[in-house]
Chains A and B, each alone.
Chain A
Amino acid sequence: MSKENGPPVVTLKDVTKIYRQGSLEVPALRGLSLDVKKGELLAICGPSGSGKTTTLNLIGALDQPTEGSVVVEGKQLDKLSRTALSELRRDRIGFVFQAYNLIPVLTAYENAEIVLALQGQAATKRRKRVMDLLGAVGLEGMEHRRPDQLSGGQQQRVAIARAIASDPAVVLADEPTANVDSETAERLLDIMVDLNQQRGVTFIFSTHDPRVMERARRVVRMVDGKVESDETKA
């Protein structure tokens, strides 16, 4: 069983994000503060426009806050260079997208391996790691298939393997069950919960899916760019 402990791997402090569309200012986050500890399985939920996506973008170093700070493993993101942000995303953050977003010209194995290759890890080490992960997500024997030869659920499993390949501090999963049927969604959740419990992978979900909220141990509900409730299950 995973334990949430130690200093937070993600800290958002008084974060405001305002999108400007010409002279119009659209506030997406209004003074959001949030700590996420290692090993947490956190679901951020809320209606459309509540700021879930913006929150994931900021934690994933894909965007910068208008005010406030985002800290990942002690590094304040707005202080980092573009190169350092690329390295942070490569080494410490994993992404699982709603639409899988695998690289279509690469096989399942190569998609799962790509981050390790970017890190410059040795081929033998990569192979061992990737085969272990593909086994963990139930894709043995499908290493050589390209994304268009895999079902949606299988593609999402490859995406999960890719996201955790570099042993990141946190995996950001955007509606990971939205594009699959109920049975596949349950299987994907089983895999991610298992990875969280067995390997201590920290997951932050953005979701509308009640099944995800049910399986998460902490549920943060957002409304209008602010945390409305933050509930940790016993």
Chain B
Amino acid sequence: MAWRNLWRHRRRTVLTLASMAFGMTLAVLFTGIGDEGYARMIELAAKMDGGHVTVQHPEMLDTPSLKHTVMDATALADTARADPQVSRVVTRINGQVLLATARQSKGAAFIAFDPKAEDPATFSLLEALHEGEMFASSNDKGIILGERLADHLGVKLGKKVVLTLTDKQGEIVSSLARVTGIIRTGAPTIDASLCLLPLDRVRQTLGYGPDEATQVAIFLPDHRNTATVADRLATTVAGRAVALPWYEAKAELAGFIAMKVNSTLFMEVLIMLLVAAGIFNQIFVSVMERSREFGIMMAIGFSPGRLFRLVMWESLWLAIVGVGVGAAITSVPYYLGHTRGIDMTAMVGGAGKKAEVAGVALEPIWRIAIYPENAVYILVAVVGATLLSGLYPAWRSGRVVPVDSIKLV
């Protein structure tokens, strides 16, 4: 009976279903863009520097310095590798360096890494090599410069650059490197202020021990396990180092994502409220115009509870059909957004350019990929909103006074 009641006013029901489907589509697409986009930002940030979890000296976060090292990087890395939710672990040194040529000098950030231990899965800048070649070994005497940094210093491949750093004792140390590569990320800040160095070479320059580094970068297959892994590692490495999840190590990025997630959530709540208002209107009007019929039904033996359940069944059917229609309508834009993506190149300044958030270069193609649990949340929200919208009309249906609504004569 509830199913048939749903279709008494076909046009009204179709309009309500359309609003539900529209709301669901918007919620899924916005959430899907967010899930995929934020996951990609987190992956890029992790692959740029520090991984999903960074094990480092306890004071490194607040007072970054090449003095703040971990002495047993290999042991710490082995500890991290033992965690079942960890996929890769690499050791790095990062800090600040003054680069000088015969014509110019400029301060820059450096990341020193082991070229044998890393690949694009752990270090995204390896894919940004625009000219030259990667280091042959960890003792290579080369340096790879950001494109704009190289331009600023006025150097090209094969030219020499003097590196000046402050070592662990606070002494100024220098070394000479030859430009072996140029990277181009498309992100202005990165291209203008970053250089790459071979790990062991930097250790020697800074007077570090063979197992000494500033960070152990830990990578996970799924960034959503970051908190769990960071908590476990924090306990294991306590006293020697700290294990920072990416959202603590990169607070600016985390703040940006949190702000975007919250604004998306706010918008989705608004959409759901609008949809719920439409659903409530459909059910409430449907109940009010049937008050005489409910009076008859009570006269022939329906209890208030049965009438309540009848209207709630109508709400449930509306929710089920609404979710089905919503899923069908959402599938097309979702598929296109998932496979082809949304090209935002024009918004970031044209081909080859990238937007940059908290030092992370963003891809100009947005893709849609919703986490399954978020899809379930949206389904639950739609069904929940529909059932909640039905509660008051259902209660009203059971409060009909038969003698008033029937008017026997």
Contacts and interface: CB of A to CB of B under 8 A. Distances in A.
B381 interface: no
Looking at A52, A86, A98, A166, the one whose CB has the most chain B CB atoms below 10 A away is A86
A95 B8 CA distance: 25
B409 A86 contact: no
Contacts of B1: 103, 105-106
Contacts of B365: none
Contact of A90 (B8, B301, B403): B301
Interface string A4-21: 000000000000000000
Nearest to B409: A53
Given A53-B409, A105-B1, A60 B8 contact: no
Contacts of A94: 300
Contacts of B5: 105
Interface residues of B, number: 21
B396 to A, nearest CB: 16
A86 B8 contact: no
Interface stretch (B30-38, B250-258, B290-298, B385-393): B290-298
Given A103-B1, A105-B5, A95 B306 contact: no
Contacts of B301: 86-87, 89-91, 115, 118-119, 166
Contacts of A103: 1, 293, 296-297
Contact of B408 (A48, A56, A90): A56
B408 to A, nearest CB: 5
B303 interface: yes
Contacts of A95: 296, 299-300
Interface string A73-105: 000000000110011011100110110010111
A82 B300 contact: no
Contacts of A162: 300
B302 A118 contact: yes
A206 B409 contact: yes
A98 B406 CA distance: 10
A62 interface: yes
Contact of B298 (A48, A89, A206): A89
B4 A105 contact: yes
A174 B409 contact: yes
A75 to B, nearest CB: 15
A114 interface: yes
B304 interface: yes
Contacts, number: 71
Contacts of B303: 82-83, 86-87
Q: Which of B306, B403, B408 has the most CB of A within 10 A?
A: B408
Contacts of B306: 118
A149 interface: no
B373 to A, nearest CB: 38
Contact of B409 (A89, A105, A119, A175): A175
Contacts of A48: 409
B408 A206 contact: yes
Contacts of B402: 62
Interface string B303-321: 1101000000000000000
Contacts of A62: 299, 402-403, 406
A198 interface: no
Contacts of A98: 408-409
B3 to A, nearest CB: 9
Interface string B1-45: 100110010000000000000000000000000000000000000
Contacts of A63: 403
A106 B310 CA distance: 14
A101 B408 contact: no
Contact of A89 (B292, B299, B304, B408): B299
Interface string A148-159: 000000000000
A160 to B, nearest CB: 13
B13 to A, nearest CB: 13
Given A62-B403, A105-B5, A114 B300 contact: yes
Contacts of B293: 101, 103-104
B403 A97 contact: no
Nearest to B6: A105
A145 B396 CA distance: 30
Specify which of A53, A105, A106, A175 lies most central, judged by the most chain B CB atoms within 10 Å of its CB.
A105
B397 to A, nearest CB: 14
A229 interface: no
A105 B8 contact: yes
Contacts of B296: 95, 97, 101, 103
A89 B402 CA distance: 12
B268 to A, nearest CB: 35
Contact of A57 (B297, B302, B304, B408): B408
Contact of B406 (A52, A87, A97): A97
A130 to B, nearest CB: 14
B104 to A, nearest CB: 84
A63 B300 CA distance: 14
B318 to A, nearest CB: 15
Interface of B: 1, 4-5, 8, 292-293, 296-304, 306, 402-403, 406, 408-409
Given A83-B303, A89-B299, A101-B293, 16 more contacts: A53-B409, A57-B403, A62-B299, A86-B298, A86-B304, A101-B406, A103-B297, A104-B8, A104-B293, A105-B1, A106-B1, A119-B301, A166-B301, A174-B408, A174-B409, A175-B409
Interface of A: 48, 52-53, 56-57, 60, 62-63, 82-83, 86-87, 89-91, 94-95, 97-98, 101, 103-106, 114-115, 118-119, 162, 166, 174-175, 206
Q: Which 7 A-B pairs have the closest CB atoms?
A: A90-B301, A105-B4, A86-B303, A53-B409, A62-B403, A101-B296, A63-B403
